[in-house]
A and B are shown apart, each in its own frame.
Chain A
């Protein structure tokens, strides 16, 4: 049983076994310069069939440029892009087995919804009957059966987004590129659409590459995320890897909220590491080995929900992993409350607690002296 589920995991996550799986999209050492500006710098990336891969980054991180190079609107200054084993470097956009959903949707304003969806099919010179069947099929896929004759300006933002998706899917592309697909929708609609998008992607088995600046969107949608920063890939991994095991201070800070403290290695053993942090006012005991040297300066990052808040000093092993401070701010968010605790060093730490008891009367409140504690696997030790 256990063996079977493990096999399944590899089947649906081909990137965990790159030896036996051929990547579907292979980006090799791609660099793109606009004049003197380096938009994408030496990016290498393998994306597998049926993946929903998110390129996540702030503005100017090069994520959109990378997507445009996949679509063929920009050509790499150096490096190669392969799709399904074919070199795409000199292939024009209209000859690529790739379709794109644009951030602005780019629906043709002078054509009806049906004509928009049929546009790509007409370019393939499909027989009229087949085009009509395919358009009807797509309209029902995106639940717009009754809107075929409308013009784009007669649709709401969410409907337009679905037309754009249907149009991009019409030619049954091997690879669908989505540029901020949910960016123009309001929060509620975005959440609904997210799940719909994943459902459509899973049922059609098309490979999706999604560009987004919204980390929440990336976390919900993606099988894997590529975090981009200043034209380079900062980290590639599954959402849990990115969140729980960031590889750098940038990734830790970019995804979710994080407390970052500086420290000096005092003990460097194969099984554990001890870090002295004057900012925290205590030692950090990390329960696994870290590639570092004694006296090395490094950073320790911990998520707010990985720490525990208490009035009494809790018992911790090794005389470490507990510090004290006063509650400065409380943000009540309904499901959780976020406490901002000022330590003696002046450093502010954010801790979140689940509000599991309704209207708790003796909850920790402002100006209280509290203890913060965490276990020896709670944080990530970062050297870069």
Chain B
């Protein structure tokens, strides 16, 4: 015979959050929805709404005054009138400047991406294959430049490349004429490759470090020389890293503004600079907005292509 202990089980004490949760559940809101709501709200307020505003401005025309563009909606004698100007978009196609700037941006971004891949791959491979105790130090060295200002780093490059800069002074010791490097496309490539290299190395490193060494050994064991092993085993298996790294370099490089303005010359045409000029020099907000919208499309298409390539690689 056991007597029932009235104090056992003890009454469950409700935590404050549980009360809130139950209250919310009554109106049909679960905790899961709240958690999801935070990023949705963030994107809505700081991305979608501003994007809609920019899109709206791109459909207006330039006007003197404040704001410097025509209103979309006008009220006249009791009727609301919506005026949409497509002239900005038409201009993008008819004026060679914009098409040339887009093409040039894509070309510069693509070449820079290939260059960072060529330089970054061996570095990532070396770090992934380095002894454990070295690996973190080497990775640290790759990330270290992020601890200094981006602007400073790009500006410091001028010290190397200008007419009487470090490189030309060094070449001068051997009696070589100074090279013209600043204000050229070459300088822009150096700038982009230098600043974006870590974005290529890090995703490459993460895929390479996960590869099982015995796969390389198996390849060698089956008669493949090192180059064949690289082409048939290492490279295909590191494709997810190659694609991720390429996206991380290519996408921001298209819209790059600081590097071409600091290092590039007047002939270096990039869409970021055109945008700046339209906005600040010409104060043509609607034109600038149209350029920005078009750039979004230009960037989204390669992202989608690369993402499709990546998902097909990962599927394997």
Contact = CB atoms under 8 A, between A and B. Distances in A.
A103 B215 CA distance: 11
Given A102-B218, A106-B218, A108-B233, A171 B223 contact: yes
Nearest to B239: A110
B212 A104 contact: yes
A123 B215 CA distance: 16
Nearest to A153: B316
Contacts of B232: 108, 119
A94 B220 contact: yes
Contacts of A72: 220-221
Given A102-B214, A104-B212, A109 B222 contact: no
B216 to A, nearest CB: 9
A376 B219 CA distance: 55
A183 B220 CA distance: 23
B228 interface: yes
Contacts of A109: 237, 316
Nearest to B315: A151
A364 to B, nearest CB: 45
Interface bracket on B? 10 to 19
Interface in A141-171: 151, 167, 170-171
A183 to B, nearest CB: 14
Interface residues of A, number: 26
A110 B218 contact: no
A73 interface: yes
A222 interface: no
Interface string A121-157: 0011000000000000000000000000001000000
Interface in A79-95: 92-95
B303 to A, nearest CB: 24
A106 B217 contact: yes
A58 interface: no
A106 B212 contact: yes
Contacts of B223: 94-95, 120, 123-124, 171
Contacts of B215: 106, 108
B214 A106 contact: yes
A171 B222 CA distance: 8
Contacts of B212: 104, 106
Contacts of A95: 223
Contacts of A123: 222-224, 228
A100 B223 CA distance: 11
A99 interface: yes
Given A110-B316, A123-B228, A151-B316, A92 B220 contact: yes
Contacts of B233: 108
B236 interface: yes
B24 to A, nearest CB: 43
A124 B228 CA distance: 12
Which one of B219, B222, B237 has the highest number of Cβ atoms from chain A below 10 Å of its Cβ? B222
Contacts of B220: 72-73, 92-94
A170 B222 CA distance: 9
Given A93-B217, A104-B214, A109-B316, 20 more contacts: A71-B221, A73-B217, A92-B220, A93-B221, A94-B221, A94-B223, A94-B225, A99-B221, A103-B214, A106-B218, A108-B215, A108-B218, A108-B233, A108-B237, A119-B219, A119-B232, A120-B222, A123-B223, A124-B223, A171-B223
5 contacts: A106-B218, A108-B219, A109-B316, A120-B223, A123-B224
Give 6 nearest A-B pairs by CB, closest first: A120-B222, A123-B223, A106-B218, A106-B214, A93-B220, A94-B220
Interface of A: 71-73, 92-95, 98-100, 102-104, 106-110, 119-120, 123-124, 151, 167, 170-171
Interface of B: 212, 214-215, 217-225, 228, 232-233, 236-237, 316
